[in-house]
Amino acid sequence: MFRVIRTEGAARRGEFICPHGVVQTPVFMNVGTQGAIKGAVSALDLKELGCQIELSNTYHLHLRPGDDVVRQMGGLHKFMGWDGPMLTDSGGFQVFSLAGLRKITEEGVTFSSHIDGRRIFMGPEESMRIQSNLGSDVAMAFDECVENPAPYDYAKASCERTLRWLMRCKAEHDKLNSLSECVNPGQVLFGINQGATYEDLRVWHMKETAKIDCGGYAIGGLAVGEPTEVMYAIIEAVEPHMPADKPRYLMGVGTPSNIIEAVARGVEFFDCVMPARNARHGKLFTWDGALNIKNERFKLDQRPISPGCGCPVCRNFSRAYLRHLFAAGEMLAMRLAVMHNLYFYNELVRRIRDALDAGEFEAFRKEYSLRLAGRAE
């Protein structure tokens, strides 16, 4: 269940209720693709970092350890030790990211495993069954994310097929939820809008997708190489046609500035590998912009990564120490860096919620949207 608590312009402050808890929105979902955050961060750490929703991937968990194994272990929540809300991606993005290893038909997609090369078929029904076995609170519909740029005719055929796949997902999902042995019968299905960068396809597809009763709706296929202005234009075109009483999810986005700007355009769910991936390479986020902790200028810097930050890393360690860990090749460097960046992203959306509660989001946007896109000193 979802309710909008208050609005400011197109921005929405809401609450999403699911079997494993209540999520305050806008929210950033922390990405644990294979049931763990890359950088040696476990579910035990996520609560301290302010995480509300953990996100894992259907394709990867199907390959290893196998969704049947996870089901026998009581579902992914129990398996990885996370008792909060969880969303699983459908595997559809792998149709895009593993483009050289797949074949798409009306029935679904045949992949070559990136692990051992074995052939794997996944269609709407298979994706729903895997996500049901995992027992997440939100299952994503199986879709195709086309490359950018994509020919208009291919993009049109693709989003038409994605719509047909959603109908099949919905039928299978309803059936699985009704079974007595279902791991999480309260799991909801989110539909996904596609259409590449063509506004007419996006709008048509969103109107048709909204006719299918889902627990929420996502905008997919963005942040794949198109200019930021194009991404914002697509959100603005699609948002008026998204059901107002359901959560809206911008998939795979993005930078702190992207999140602020997307909230201003009516979106409230976000996920991205960026905070963890950047952290593993020493790029850390602060309230004055990003910094590269590997730089020589931090060798004797006694300040925390981001002055005033409440994360466990900033409360205990200096920039100089983090730089030393990276220079020494210590595993702890990645762990601490990832913890800080995830805390920063979770704190960012918390501050956005506070600004919306106070009726001051536009002022927050003006202060931070450009600042967070810059470089910290």
Q: 99-131: per-residue pLDDT in tens?
A: 567 889 999 998 888 888 888 899 999 999 999
Better pLDDT: 336 or 59: 336
In three-state secondary structure terms, 291 is strand
Amino acid symbol at 280: R
- Which pLDDT value is given to residue 99? 56
Is-catalytic flag, 89? yes
- Which pLDDT value is given to residue 112? 82
User: Could you report how far apart the first and last alpha carbons of the chain are, in Å?
Assistant: 43
Token output for 72: 């026998």
List, for residues 232-246, the tens digit of each pLDDT value: 999 999 999 999 999
Is-catalytic flag, 271? yes
CATH entry 3.20.20.370 includes domain 2-272: no
- Is the pTM above the cut of 0.85? yes
Candidates 45, 67, 143, 271; catalytic one: 271
Which candidate, 40, 2, 243, 45, places its Cα nearest to that of 137? 2
- The H-or-E segment that residue 187 falls in is none
**Does the structure show a pLDDT above 70 at 96?**
no
**Cβ-contact 154, 180 below 8 angstroms:** no
Candidates 45, 67, 89, 143; catalytic one: 89
Q: Where exactly are the structural domains of the chain?
A: 2-272, 279-373
Please tell me whether the peptide bond between 65 and the residue prior to it is cis, using omega within 30 degrees of 0. yes
- Which pLDDT value is given to residue 117? 84
**Cβ-contact 136, 142 below 8 angstroms:** no
List, for residues 148-186, the tens digit of each pLDDT value: 899 999 999 999 999 999 999 999 999 999 999 999 999
Mean predicted lDDT score pLDDT of the chain: 96
User: Which conformational region is residue 308 in: left (phi greater than 0), alpha (psi within -120 to 50 degrees), or beta?
Assistant: left
Q: What percentage of the chain carries pLDDT values higher than 70? A: 99
- The H-or-E segment that residue 82 falls in is none
Q: Where are the beta strands (DSSP E) in the chain?
A: 2-8, 11-18, 21-25, 27-31, 54-57, 86-89, 102-104, 109-112, 119-122, 138-140, 188-193, 216-219, 248-250, 269-271, 283-286, 289-292
**Does the structure show a pLDDT above 80 at 346?**
yes
List, for residues 310-335, the tens digit of each pLDDT value: 999 999 999 999 999 999 999 999 99
